[in-house]
Structure formats: structure tokens, C-alpha cells
């Protein structure tokens, strides 16, 4: 590794405590992260875990730039339930979730790195760099602090293998927040899907595709995709069990230690991108626990709770159920993405076209979606995949994307579904 030059002067370390507070008197809009003090409450176990995080910039080496990406601003609103028995009015909200999507202003950079000091010296890591307020505004600082909070809290529990591990971080004199994660792989589920679709394109461009080779490749692909889904849902189930929502679940938020389908036995999918994670206990409006601690998470979750209220979720328990169901809906879109993109040629399907097909064209009528896909030979392998076990994939997809949030399964129920367990 050839580490790049890193500024070593005037670093402000990431707080060792998971309860982040800002130096400014304006709540969470100060310039740097400092330790929370003066809280008249028992210290939680998560503080002990956070105290072990590496918060000195001198303990890290920074390598090459891996890439960058931007977060999408998703403005979700509740739509209408389809069917001849419904008369659509502006008040009929809360059943069908649709989304307006635009590119957000926060740009994230990823770097390779390693720990250079201490007992974990040489451990490979990946840096996730949030821009300072000058480039990313207050939102970037809030997202970085929220991601740190979410990981630190979850790591105070019995963290499963399907969650990415944070090892530390620091803040530069320019206000950038550098979060360091254990290297769980460079490829995401989105990267894998792109690679798989390109392989399909190349195979078909060669003319006659040997039927035996095609079937073997598709078997490996089905197995690999199922393992991705299993890992993602295990991570999500762990989060929900600990009253945390993901709120930005998608193919790019799942990192893979290998994108090779022949290495499926070694595959460990891990959830990442917890910048929009929501602490249900602290952020639900009017909850007795909604204290200053939840200000960061609460600011990022306002839209969620507004939609919950519009959907008829008024009590704390109803809002909690709505939040969990909202994550399950995103997981359903993830299932649809992984059922289509890797099994089609490059460019045939992408996340937006799949979402429009499901939500806008067929209004979550999954049987109608299947009939449509049967008529398009380019989607043949995707249909075969979801047809496994007497259409078990379609059955699970319909449940996860149910227009009524109250009827969606919880993560544990998804994990036990026959489609993800090969019980056909």
C-alpha cells in the first residue's frame, strides 16, 4: 500500500461516546464532534464499546481512492390501493408507497486503508468520507454522526456476521468526517448484479448458448442471489430486534466479500450505509424516550413519521410497526432487483424501471407483473427464478410489497419463507 498524505494537524477526534453532541449552542449544528457530558443517566454498555474505537488519525494509513457515490433524496408519499372497489380521493393515503427520487447533495468518497498502530496493526479497512459543512452542508455532518451512532449502538450487542463493523474514525481540520470500517469487501450487491448481467450479455452474444452450461450458470446464480437475500435479511432482523430501522436498504447498501458465484459457500453479505438509520425508541414523536439524544435520528426521520401518521399509525406501537414495515417494503424492492437485474442482459432492467413497473404500471399487483414478464423473453430467467417452488418467489414478493403495511411480514418471517430456504 502506498499511503497518501494525510493532514495530521488540528484533527478533532470522533467522540468515544455514541450519544453525539455538538460544540455549538445550536444543538447538533456545531463544527466538531465532542463528548457528551453532564447527562444524568446511567452509562450504557455501548459507551464501553465506543471507547475501544480508534479515534486518532495517526493510527491509520490511507490508500487509494476506491470510488464515490451520492445519496438519493427519496420523498415518499402514500398512494392508493388498486381495485374497482376503491374511489380515489386525495384523502385516500397510507396504503401504497410511491417515491419521487432526486440526487442529494452529499457526496461520499471511499478509500482503502489499514490500521497502522496498536494490536490490530495491518488490519485492512475502508474509509467512508463525509464532506465538511462547506461542501455537504449540515446534512453531511448529521448523516456521519447518525451512522456512527447506529453502528456504535449495534456493536454493543451481539453483532452478527451480516453487519459491517466500524473500527473508528476522525475528523480533519477541514471538517470532513472519516469513518473507518473493517474491510468486508469492495463489491456491493449492485456491483455483482451488473457483473452478472454483463456475463449474460456476453454469453448470448456468442450465438448458441450450450443448454447445459447455461443451466449450470443459472443454478449458481440462483444460489448466490438467495445467499445475498438471506444475509441481508439476517442483518435487517438483527437491527429490528434492537429497535433500529435501516431506511436506505438497497443493492448498494449490501457489501459482499466476493462477487464470484462459484465461491457462494464463502459469501458473507453485510449491511452498510446506516446514515439514515432510525432509532425507534428515541425518534418517534411523543415517545417518552424522545429526548435530546434522538435529535439527529429524529431530524432524519421526520418524513417517515409523517407518512406513518398519514397511514393511520398514531400510537407509538403503530408507528414502530409502520417503520419496520417500511424497511420490509425496501427489502421487497431489493428482492425484485436481485430477481431481475442479474438474470437479464445488461440494460434490460434497472432499479428505477423495476420500481416503476411494480408501483406505477401494475400498482403492486404481482400476478399481473408475472403475466407481463412471461410475454417478454428477455425476462425468462427472472421469471424462472421467482417461479421456484410453485411461484414461491412471487408469493414472497407480494407479501413484502403488500399495499397495506399492516400485512407485510417481519424480517424473521421473510427469513423463514420457503423461497429463501429451498423448501419447495
Beta bridge partners of 60: 115
Helix H or strand E segment including 182: strand 177-182
pLDDT at 52: 78
Cα-flanking dihedrals φ and ψ of residue 113, to 5°? -170, -175
- Find all residues with CB under 8 Å of 172, minimum gap 6, and list them: 7, 11, 57, 132, 178
Alpha carbon distance 236, 342 (integer Å)? 22
The pLDDT profile of the chain, 424 residues, written as one tens digit per residue, is: 433 333 322 223 333 223 333 233 332 222 233 333 333 333 334 333 434 788 899 999 999 999 887 765 444 434 434 343 434 333 333 334 444 444 456 789 999 999 999 899 999 999 999 997 777 678 888 999 999 999 999 999 999 999 999 999 999 988 899 999 999 999 999 999 999 999 999 988 887 788 899 999 999 999 999 999 999 999 999 999 999 999 999 999 999 999 999 999 999 999 999 999 999 987 777 554 443 444 555 567 888 999 999 999 999 999 999 999 999 999 999 999 999 999 999 999 999 999 999 999 999 999 999 999 999 999 999 999 999 999 999 999 999 999 999 999 999 999 999 999 985 5
Rounded-to-integer distance, Cα 27 and Cα 14, Å: 17
Q: What pLDDT is attached to residue 296?
A: 52
In the 8-state DSSP scheme, what is residue 356?
I
Contacts for 372 with CB less than 8 Å, ≥ 6 apart: 357, 361, 362
338 with 189: CB under 8 angstroms? yes
Distance of CA 28 to the CA centre of its chain: 24
pLDDT at 281: 85
Q: What is the DSSP string of 73-116?
A: EEEEEE----STT----TT--SSSEEEEEEEEEEEEEEEEEEE-
What was the pLDDT predicted at 104?
56
* 297 and 279 Cβ atoms separated by less than 8 Å: yes
Residue located via cell numbers 408475472? 370
Check residue 209 and give its pLDDT: 81
pLDDT in tens, 56-71: 999 999 999 998 877 6
CA gap 222, 408 in Å, rounded: 24
Amino acid at each position: 500500500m502506498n499511503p497518501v498524505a494525510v493532514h495530521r494537524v488540528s484533527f478533532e477526534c470522533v467522540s468515544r461516546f455514541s450519544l453525539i453532541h455538538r460544540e455549538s449552542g445550536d444543538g447538533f449544528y456545531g463544527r466538531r464532534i465532542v463528548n457528551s457530558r453532564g447527562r444524568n443517566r446511567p452509562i450504557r454498555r455501548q459507551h464501553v464499546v465506543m471507547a475501544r474505537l480508534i479515534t486518532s488519525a495517526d493510527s491509520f494509513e490511507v490508500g487509494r481512492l476506491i470510488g464515490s457515490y451520492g445519496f438519493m433524496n427519496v420523498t415518499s408519499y402514500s398512494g392508493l390501493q388498486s381495485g374497482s372497489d376503491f374511489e380515489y380521493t386525495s384523502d385516500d393515503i397510507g396504503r401504497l408507497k410511491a417515491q419521487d427520487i432526486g440526487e442529494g447533495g452529499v457526496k461520499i468518497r471511499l478509500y482503502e486503508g489499514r490500521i497502522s498502530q496498536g494490536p490490530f496493526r495491518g488490519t485492512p479497512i475502508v474509509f467512508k468520507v463525509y464532506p465538511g459543512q462547506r461542501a455537504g452542508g449540515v446534512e453531511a455532518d448529521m448523516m456521519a454522526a447518525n451512522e456512527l451512532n447506529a453502528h456504535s449502538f449495534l456493536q454493543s450487542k451481539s453483532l452478527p456476521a451480516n453487519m459491517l463493523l466500524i473500527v473508528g474514525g476522525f475528523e480533519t481540520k477541514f471538517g470532513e468526517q472519516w469513518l473507518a470500517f473493517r474491510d468486508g469487501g469492495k463489491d456491493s450487491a449492485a456491483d455483482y448484479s451488473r457483473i452478472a448481467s454483463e456475463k449474460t450479455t456476453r454469453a448470448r452474444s456468442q450465438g448458441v448458448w450450450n443448454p447445459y452450461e447455461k443451466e449450470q450458470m443459472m443454478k449458481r446464480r440462483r444460489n448466490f442471489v438467495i445467499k445475498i437475500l438471506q444475509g441481508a435479511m439476517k442483518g435487517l432482523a438483527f437491527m429490528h430486534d434492537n429497535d433500529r430501522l435501516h431506511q436506505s436498504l438497497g443493492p448498494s447498501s449490501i457489501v459482499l466479500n466476493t462477487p464470484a458465484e462459484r465461491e457462494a459457500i464463502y459469501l458473507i453479505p453485510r449491511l452498510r450505509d446506516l446514515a439514515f438509520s432510525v432509532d425507534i425508541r428515541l425518534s418517534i414523536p411523543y415517545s417518552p424516550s424522545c429526548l435530546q439524544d434522538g435529535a439527529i435520528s429524529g431530524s432524519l426521520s421526520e418524513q417517515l413519521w409523517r407518512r406513518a401518521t398519514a397511514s393511520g399509525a398514531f400510537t407509538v406501537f403503530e408507528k414502530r410497526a409502520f417503520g419496520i414495515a417500511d424497511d420490509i417494503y425496501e427489502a421487497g424492492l431489493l428482492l425484485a432487483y436481485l430477481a431481475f437485474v442479474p438474470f437479464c442482459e445488461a440494460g434490460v432492467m434497472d432499479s428505477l424501471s423495476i420500481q416503476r413497473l411494480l408501483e406505477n404500471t401494475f400498482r403492486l399487483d404481482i400476478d399481473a407483473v408475472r403475466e407481463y414478464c412471461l410475454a417478454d423473453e428477455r425476462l425468462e430467467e427472472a421469471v424462472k427464478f421467482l417461479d421456484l417452488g410453485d411461484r414461491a418467489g412471487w408469493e414472497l414478493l407480494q407479501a413484502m410489497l403488500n399495499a397495506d403495511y399492516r400485512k407485510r411480514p417481519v424480517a424473521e418471517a421473510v427469513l423463514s419463507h420457503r423461497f429463501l430456504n429451498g423448501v419447495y
